[in-house]
Amino acid sequence: MRRGRLARPIHPVVAVLAAGTALAWAWAAAGPPAERAYAAAVGGLSLLTVAVALGTDAVVQGLGQTGAQDRGGEAQTPARVLNPSGTVRPVAAEALRRGHRVRILAGETIPGDAVVVAGGGTVDESAMTGESAPVLKEPGDAVTAGTTLVMGELEATIRSDPDDWYSRRLARATSGTRRPASATERTLSWFLGVFSVFMLVVALSLAPIAARWLPGVGNPAVWLGLALALVPTTAGALLPAIGMAERRHLARLGVVPRGGRPLERAGDVDTVVVDKTGTITEGQRTATDLMALPGTLPEQLAWCAYLASAQDRTPEGRTVAALAAARLAGPLPEVVGMPVPFSARTRLSGVDLPDGRQIRKGAISAIRLLTGTGLAPLEELADAVAWTGSTPLAVVLDGEPLGIVRLDDRVHRSAPDWMAQFRALGLHTVLVTGDHPLTAAVIANALSVDEFRAEATPEDKRALIRDLQAQGRVVAMTGDGVNDAPALAQADVGLALASGAPSAQDSANLVDLDSEAGKLAAIIRIGRELAITRGALITFSVATDLAKYFVVVPGILASLGLGLLPGFAALGLGSPGRTVLAALGFNLLSILALLPVAVRGTRRPTAPWARQLLVWGGAGLVSALVGIVAIGAGLGWMARVLG
C-alpha cells in the first residue's frame, strides 16, 4: 500500500495570525494615510512571526534527515514476464495480471501471488508468516507476493491481479481502523482553541470601546495588533516543531513512522501487548522429540507424523518430517493421498490417505475440536511438554490420539531486558500467542509478564486490544507476522519489525529497521519526554499571554493617563502603539529562543508535572514582563534617535 509523506497542516493559531497579518497589510494599503505606517509595522512583525512559525518544522525536518529516511511507500518490486516467444520482458509488479508467467531467480522477491509451474527452490516466507526457516517450493505449490526465493529458480503463473493479492486484501481489511487521538492531543487542541478564542474576543471587544471613549487609541491597527499579540503564538508556532522533532528522535532509533503522530500517542501508553513467536522468541520452532502415548508403538507415531508432515510446506512441518524420518527404520513410507494444508485458522495439517484413513497433526485445541472427547491422556502429555516451555503438537489417526511432537523455540536473549524496561516504565504487559496455554504461561512467568493470552487467532489478538481500549487503556503492540496485522492496526501505537510481513508493516504506524521488539520501551520513553516538553512550552506560552494581557492593556491605559494602578505608568511603555509593537516583538523573539527546546526537549524531561508548571510558568511571566518593557524602551530610543 503506497503512503505519501505525512502532511504538515498549519496550526489554527498560526492560521489566525496569518489572517491578521493580511488584514494589517490591507489596512496599510487602504487605510487613512496617518495610520498606514503603523499598520505596516504591525503587518511586518506579524509576517516575520508567521514566517518563523512556518519555518520551524522545516528546520526540524532538515535535522531529521541525518537518520533513517521516510520510506513514504513501498518500492516497486521488479518482475520478469516470460513472453510466448521465450523472451523476458521486465515490468513492475503492479503491471502483472492474472495469467502472466514470470521467472524468479535466487535472492529475488516473489512479485505476486502465483503458482509454481516449473523449477524449484526454497522460499523465505517470514515476510508473511513470521517463521524464518525457508520452505521448499515445487511445481503445483503456491507462492505469495512479498516472500523471497532463497535458493533455486522458479517459473510461476500469476493467479490473481494485484488488488486481489493476499497482502493487499489484508491491508484493505485493516486500513479502515482509525486510531483515536491521544488524550494529550485532545486536551491540547481543546485548551489552545478555547484560550485563543477567549483572547481574541477580549482584545477585539476593546476596539469599539476604545473608538468611543479613548480617542487616543482609535487606530484599528492598534487593536488588531493587540489581538494578534494576545493569541498563544508561541505554542501555535512550536507545537508543529515538536511534532516534526518526532522524526528526528525516531531516526536516531532506526524507526520509520508510517502515519499519524505515533510518539504523541506513545506518551500516553500504559499497556504493551507483545507477540511471542518471532518477536519474543527467535521464531525457529524445531521438532526435537516424538512422544508416543501408552499403547502406541513409537514406529506408528513416527510413521503418521511423517505422512502428516511430508507435504506440509511450513517450516515446522519440514522439521517434523525430518525428525520422523530419522526415527523410522528402513525405507520411508510412500506419501500418497490428499494433503490438508496448515492455516492460521485451523492450526492443523495432515493427509487423507487413499484407503480413507485420516491423519492430522496440530495444536491440542484444534485436535480437540476435531475429535471431541477421549483426549485426556494426550492432554496430560501435552501439559507436561508445555510446562517445559516447549510447544506440543498432537498426532491423531482417524480421531485416535497417538502421541505428541515436541517443538522447541528459544526465547530471544534480549527479551528479559526488554520486559525489565517495560516494568521500569510502569507498563502493564500482555504476551499474546497462538501457542499452547501452558507454554505461554511458562514463558510469561520466566519473563515476569503481567498476563498472557494463548491459542489466539488473528481476530482474537485484535479483539484483545479492542477490549483493553474499551477499559480506557492506551495500548502499544509489537509483532511481525501476517497474523499480527489486525492487532497492529487496532493498537494506538503499532510497532512492526522490518524482518516481518509487509502487511504487518502496512498496518503498523512504526517500523523498526533493527527488528527489536524491546525498542518499544525507548519509543514510549521518548513519547513521554515529548509530552513533558509540549506541556512545558504550552505553560510558558499561556503564562506569557496572561502576562501580556495584564501588562499591555493596563499599560495602554496608563499611557493615556487612565491607568487604575499608578505603577503601570512607571513601566515607561509610552504610547499604546509602541506597547502593542513591543508585545508583537516579544512573540517573535520568544519563538526563536524556544525553538532549541522544542527540538531537543527539556533538560529534565522526567521531572514532575507540578515542578514543570512552576518553572516554565514563572519563566513565562517574568520574561514577558521584562521582555516587553525592554523592547518598548528600545523602540522609544529608536523613535528619539530617528525623530
Catalytic amino acids? 275
Residues 6+ apart with CB under 8 A from 127: 146, 147, 148, 500, 501, 502
Dmax over Cα atoms in the chain, in whole Å? 112
* Closest among 466, 467, 490 to 479, alpha carbons compared: 490
Residues 6+ apart with CB under 8 A from 488: 174, 477, 479, 494, 495, 496, 504, 507, 508
The C-alpha atoms of residue 502 and residue 411 are separated, in whole angstroms, by: 24
The C-alpha atoms of residue 224 and residue 237 are separated, in whole angstroms, by: 19
The C-alpha atoms of residue 588 and residue 595 are separated, in whole angstroms, by: 11
b (16+ CB within 10 A) / e for 472-498: ebbbbbbbbbbbbbbbbbbbbbbbbbb
300: which 3 cell numbers?
Answer: 506408528
* Closest among 391, 444, 412, 430 to 517, alpha carbons compared: 412
Q: Which residues pair with 338 in a beta bridge?
A: 352
CB 476 within 8 A of CB 495: yes
Q: What phi, psi does 108 have (nearest 5°)?
A: -95, 155
CB 477 within 8 A of CB 495: yes
The C-alpha atoms of residue 218 and residue 221 are separated, in whole angstroms, by: 9
Q: What phi, psi does 539 have (nearest 5°)?
A: -60, -45
CB 207 within 8 A of CB 223: yes
For the CA atoms of 189, 193, 199, 202, the dihedral, rounded to the nearest 10 degrees, stands at -150
Give the pairing type, strands 271-275 and 475-479: parallel
CB 354 within 8 A of CB 361: no
Task: Give the H or E element holding residue 381.
Answer: helix 376-386
The C-alpha atoms of residue 208 and residue 181 are separated, in whole angstroms, by: 40
The C-alpha atoms of residue 580 and residue 20 are separated, in whole angstroms, by: 14
The alpha helices in 495-608, defined as continuous H runs, are 502-507, 519-559, 576-600
For the CA atoms of 499, 504, 506, 509, the dihedral, rounded to the nearest 10 degrees, stands at -90
30: which 3 cell numbers?
Answer: 487602504
